[in-house]
Structure 1
Amino acid sequence: MALSAFAALCFLATSATAFAQAPVQQVQVDGIIAKVDNNVILRSDLEFGYLQYLAQTKQQPSEELKCQLFTSLLQDKLLLARAEVDSVVVDEAMVSSNLDERINYLASQVGGTDRLEQYYNKSLRQLKDELRKTVREQLVMEKMQRQITEKVSVTPKEIKKYFNNIPKDSLPYFSTEVEIGQIVKEAEISRQQKQEARQKLEELRKRILAGEDFATLAKEYSQDPGSAQAGGELGFFKKKELVPEYEAAALRLQPGEMSNVIESQFGFHLIQLIERRGQEFNTRHILIKPGTATVDLNAAAEELDSVRNMVLNDSLTFAQAAKEYSDDENTKDNGGMLSNRATGFTYIPMDQVDPAIFFVIDTMEVGDISEPIAYTTPDGKEAMRIIYLKSKTQPHQANLDDDYQKIASAALNQKRSKAVNEWFKKNINSVYIEIDPEYQDCNLLQKPVQ
């Protein structure tokens, strides 16, 4: 059972309705139930993760399940403790990027950033501040697990043995699944549109210099939904946690000073430094994004139409075209293929396909590529994309011929899991561990590896 550190971010994606339907149980007063070196597990961590897991999986409550969750949390803390000893760290830019991606995903699940803020009764800035440590810890744990399992592999013989050991009446039944690729072209922003955005900020800068309040104007004009309502305030960040252009301009300022108009990948900014605190700094900003015009979308569509014709005429493969022409950094190096977030596979059940894509591929044959269609990227940019239906499987019971990739992955995961468990057994005495007597019997790390 691979539940991450208190599984906060995984379970945040559960809808408000699902959470409301979680079993209501008496929760004891919060307190520390385990220590692993400098890392602690709170009773609230366990109870919250347990209720969320029940809501998400519809399983019946059981002490065994809670015990498994506790052991998973204990494993997480052991990974973190060993990572500190072994000086395993992750880049802060990766933390920020991963945090933004997850926040955007959560917002898309609940109907936008406004709904997300309303649901948690917190601004995006507050949510990011609270989740940053959890995201960093998750990335560190993932890096540790990769180091532990990097040499683990499975042979065809092991894959076949794994499959043959599954009872026939327990073989999974797969519904219709598809493999979908995309090539994305973002609308180019014209020089005129950039100039208009810059000019708007220059006018706001003059108003601030004339005495108007920066925060008030940020609330009214900033196009950053995560900070506008807070008067543009972003909160404290360390070096390399913000985009380079923004950080460089901010660090040249004295508290209370305002920057000139600066450009970043997000648009144009006016920045005011609020406070420095050691290696951290707090700023507020006004963001103006250049608009995208219809003519720019037409240009993107024309380019994609040309790319589509090259693929259809066998001048290059779809994967080659994606790598060379796609603006989607998440898929261009993966042959343009979309992945199932839950499994990491390129096979996606039809009932989990994005509705915007579902209605495009519904009438397509395997191998078809759609005409260019309008698309809004996860970060709000206007774009066009073409969709490729690579494969479509019919509903069937798992078998080695049709599902070799999935079975091989499952066999590899089982072998990796065993390697991680063996690592835990070897390293459990290398750190200080203290467990509340109530949970002593839940320490599954002390039990033999299966």
Structure 2
Amino acid sequence: MNKFLLVLLFSTAMLQAQTVVEPDSTGVVKSNDSLVVQKTIMRDTLKPFKRYKAEGVSAVVGEYVILDSDIDKAYVEMQSQGMSIEDITRCQLMGKLMEDKLYAHQAKQDSIMVPDAEINGMIDQQLQYMISELGSEEKVAAYYRKDNIADLRKDLFEANKSIKLASLMQQKVIEKVEVTPEEVRTFFFSIPEDERPVFSAEIEIAQIVVDPKITKQAIDEVKARLNAIRADIIDNGTSFSTKAVLYSKDPGSNSKGGLYTGVKRDSPWAKEFKDQAFSLLEGEISEPFETEFGWHLLYVEKIRGQEVDVRHILLFPEVSQKSIDEAQKKIEDLKKQIEAGEITFAEAARKNSDDKETRNNGGQLVNPISFDTRFDLTKMDPTLSQQVYNLKEGEVSEVFTDRDRTGKSSLKILTVTKKYDEHQADYSKDYERIKKLALREKQIKVINKWQNEKIKDTYISINQDYQDCDFAGDWLKK
């Protein structure tokens, strides 16, 4: 990688480190850059967090206090997102937390508000991860030296709220930052020719998805299985938890006896799931019901005010071989028609694809990272890359079977709608991408300027343990 890219990526990390990405519609947080701190932002010699540190005040920023445990929680949150913490030091996380508190402090001054429901949804996801890692609410509370999970929720509420306020404040700081065509031109041509960025090979992909049809008989059979399980629990006193361990197809809860704690009305669960959770009394078991994920039995274990703890059993209807064969024939016929020129891939997708998210756009896939239609071949999902890597532009892949996270199978064909070879940045061809880089650089400068100005005007006190940290901003006011 050339010098220009290194410099820009290091600078970009300062901006990305403060971006909060919200959970998607399934409630799964795809990423949380609010806790990602690039080690290049600041240098220090302290070692990464390895074990719980005694409670104490690490810093005060305006009206906000940063505790030692806040840094520990940041490490846990990073791990919950699958991030490595080996090279992340306490100094780096301290710097990031102080930035968040500075933004949050200023957000309050500017009367920026965050709905409590939004924060509670984030906390639900965090607690679910912690409980899955440690085994129970009691162990999670004990880990953070809290008497109970309710006390921990209060702490998490304040921490998450300040992070969200920080994000909104930063957005406000940069919302009016724009770059003119002349600034883009100046930015690009100020880079020495041999140091201009090289853009990786990219492709644009479209898909057609055909789901094997689920018959009424298959649905009746899965309902009958759930009713038999329900009857055994009610009539014979069999443990719901044991049944969930033995039979539930939900990989997120079956090992815990189907347990989910702290379900709220505004939590990101399927509507049918929440309707059942809040319509039953404590100790009651639902009739079998359907969501987009499959068929459920739900047991209300405990009602705690506006929250409920539930257990559930998830089963999927069996797909018959006949349905699979019919789906296979349908998608193979579509492939033949497309290759014969009888119909375009986009038209076939709009008329026949079972994927609601892509069919109206001719099957075009959107990159979940960049939110545009281009995919970097070196960073693609391996399953997807394997299917399209050797395809020529306009060529259709072989039919293949794909499974979603619930285990549901679909038949797919893909096509490469556009290929972009690896190349050094070209001002004309890559103008939009160069514009983004120029805008990012300008935003970073605006953020740095705003931050240093606010540091001067804000009360800041830092514990002696962090006086030797080499922070990016003038936090120590030396």
With the length of structure 2 as denominator, give the TM-score of the two structures: 0.69
Aligned counterpart, 1:107: none
Q: CA 1:358–1:246 in structure 2 vs 1: closer, same or farther (change >3 Å)?
A: closer
For 2:160 and 2:458, locate their aligned partners in 1 and report how far apart those are by CA, in whole Å. Answer: 23
Q: What one-letter code is carried by the residue in structure 2 that aligns with 1:25?
A: K
Aligned to 1:230: 256
1:161 deviates by 1.6
* Structure 2 residue matching 1:391: 3-state secondary structure: strand
Q: Structure 1 271/82 Cα, relative in aligned 2: closer, same or farther at 3 Å?
A: farther
Paired residue for 2:357? 329
Q: Which whole-Å CA distance do the structure 1 matches of 2:313 and 2:55 have between them?
A: 41
Q: Deviations over 1:232-285 (max 9, x none)?
A: 211112212132212212212221122222221222222121112121111111
Residues 219 and 378 of structure 1: is their aligned pair in 2 closer, same or farther, counting only changes over 3 Å? closer
Partner of 2:424: 397
Q: Distance in 2 between matches of 1:169 and 1:286?
A: 60
Specify the code of the residue in structure 2 equivalent to 1:329: E
Of residues 389, 403, 411, the one that matches 1:362 is 389
Aligned pairs (5 A) from 1:31-430: 31-36=56-61, 40-43=65-68, 70-81=94-105, 85-89=111-115, 92=118, 95=121, 142=167, 144-210=169-235, 211-241=237-267, 242-301=269-328, 304=331, 309=337, 313=341, 318=346, 321=349, 325=353, 327=355, 329=357, 336-339=364-367, 341=369, 343-344=370-371, 346-424=373-451
Q: Which amino acid aligns with 1:3?
A: A
Alignment CA distance shift 1:420-1:187 (3 Å): farther
Q: Provide the C-alpha distance between the structure 1 equivalents of 2:86 and 2:164, rounded to a whole number of angstroms.
A: 28
Shift of 1:162: 1.5
Distance 2:178 2:342 in 1: 35
The answer (yes or no) to whether the contact 1:70–1:442 under 8 Å persists in 2 is no
The worse-fitting range, judged by mean Cα deviation, of 274-283 and 324-333 is 324-333
Q: In 2, are the aligned partners of 1:236 and 1:280 still within 8 Å (CA)?
A: yes
Q: Give distance in 1, aligned partners of 2:165 and 2:456.
A: 21
**Would the aligned equivalents of 2:296 and 2:313 in 1 still touch at CA under 8 Å?**
yes
CA apart distance, 1:152: 3.5
Counterpart residue type for residue 404 of structure 1: Y
* Distance in 1 (alpha carbons) for counterparts of 2:444 and 2:113: 23
Quickly say closer, same or farther: Cα 1:71–1:409, change in 2 above 3 A. Answer: same
How far is the alpha carbon of 1:163 from its aligned partner? Answer: 1.2
The corresponding residue for 1:25 is 47
What is the distance in 2 between the residues matched to 1:162 and 1:321? Answer: 41
Q: Secondary structure at the match of 1:337?
A: coil
Superimposed CA distance per residue, residues 327-385 of structure 1 (whole angstroms, 9 cap, x where no aligned partner): 263897696224263x5554433332333333322332112232432111244321122
Distance (Å, rounded) in 2 between the aligned partners of 1:38 and 1:323: 58
Per-residue deviation, 1:206 = 0.7
Q: Which residue of 2 aligns with 1:19?
A: none
Please name the residue that 1:113 is paired with. Answer: none
* Residues 182, 425 of structure 1: alpha-carbon distance in 2 compared, 3 angstrom cutoff: farther
C-alpha separation between the residues in 2 aligned to 1:98 and 1:277? 14
Report the 3-state secondary structure (helix = DSSP H, G, I; strand = E; otherwise coil) of the residue aligned with 2:357.
coil
Kindly indicate which of the two structures has a greater share of residues assigned to helix.
1
State the Cα distance separating 1:400 from its structure 2 match.
Answer: 2.0
Per-residue displacement from partner, 1:364-423 (whole Å, max 9, x unpaired)?
A: 211223243211124432112221213333333333244333222212222333444455
In structure 2, stretches of 5+ residues that fail to align are 1-13, 22-28, 37-44, 141-148
What's the secondary structure of 2:413's corresponding residue? Answer: strand
Instruction: Specify whether residues 345 and 68 from structure 1 end up closer, same or farther in structure 2 by C-alpha distance, changes over 3 A only.
Output: farther
Q: 1:377 to 1:333 in 2, by over 3 A?
A: farther
Q: 1:412 to 1:244 in 2, by over 3 A?
A: same
List per-residue Cα deviations over 1:403-444 (Å, max 9, x = no partner).
333222212222333444455456668976543355467665
Task: State the 1:29 CA deviation.
Answer: 5.4
- Which residue is 2:145 aligned to? none
Give distance in 2, aligned partners of 1:157 and 1:323: 45
Supply the distance in 2 between the matched residues of 1:147 and 1:302 (Cα, whole angstroms): 53
Q: Is the 8 A contact 1:370 1:388 kept in 2?
A: yes
Under a length normalisation based on structure 1, what TM-score does the superposition of the two structures give? Answer: 0.72
Cα 1:79–1:169 change in 2 (3 A) is same
- Name which of structure 1's ranges 194-203 and 33-42 shifts more when overlaid on structure 2: 33-42
Contact 1:71 1:442 in 2 (8 A): no
CA shift in 2, pair 1:229/1:433, >3 Å: same
Verify the 8 A CA contact 1:338 1:346 in the aligned structure 2.
yes
Could you tell me how far apart the structure 2 residues matched to 1:330 and 1:295 are?
26
Unaligned runs of 5+ in 1: 15-22, 104-115
Distance change in 2, residues 1:181/1:198 (3 Å): same
Report the number of matched residues: 415
Paired with 1:323 and 1:83, the residues of 2 have a C-alpha distance of 48
**Aligned-partner Cα distance in 1 for 2:328–2:107:** 48
- Residues 443 and 352 (structure 1 numbering): CA distance in 2 closer, same or farther, change over 3 Å? closer
Change (3 A) 1:446 1:41: same
Q: CA deviation at 1:70?
A: 3.9
Please state how far the C-alpha of 1:83 moved relative to its aligned partner: 5.4
